[in-house]
Copies of this chain bind each other. A is one copy, B any other.
């Protein structure tokens, strides 16, 4: 998925492990002279390829996963509070990120602002108005961010991201590619780190 040595980071804004990954991936990439390419997608779309359902709705595994979200956050030193509404639709947040990215601006600040709004502050970023508020707090023009959510070209960009993720074999979040090598989950970041250091192993 990467054509330029960047670390491709596919994620859904409703994914707790995606959030943890978003807090760690830039440091990881930077240690090896790489940049992150932020690739928001909709897990609901890619879940169809595997028949998966949201983790927390799986019997037994759902209880464990809630415990593991919080424990993994503590392990990595990332502030985390499970939102009361979960999972949520994430089109609005994803479109704001793609609008930023595809006009040539660095989307990292708004990625972090949106993820933290949801997984630290419990704000419902599925609402286009809330997502635009958060974008504005991160320094973007609120009206433009709000308009991007309903912009046909931006909607199309998100469809392309979903299609690209599916075509690349993405089935979860976060999902990282380094030089074509796929890594699923924040718990593969150690392997990503070694892969970046050695060019494979």
| A residues adjacent to B (C-beta < 8 A) | 49-52, 58-61, 63-64, 67-68, 71-72, 74-75, 169, 171-172, 182, 184-185, 187-188, 190-191, 194, 201
Contact = CB atoms under 8 A, between A and B. Distances in A.
Contacts of A191: 71-72, 75
Determine the main DSSP class of A at the interface with B: helix
Contacts of A58: 50-51
Contact of A64 (B51, B60, B72, B184): B184
Stoichiometry, copies per complex: 2
Contact of A182 (B49, B52, B64): B64
A58 B49 CA distance: 9
A49 B172 CA distance: 22
B194 A63 contact: no
Contacts of A68: 184, 188
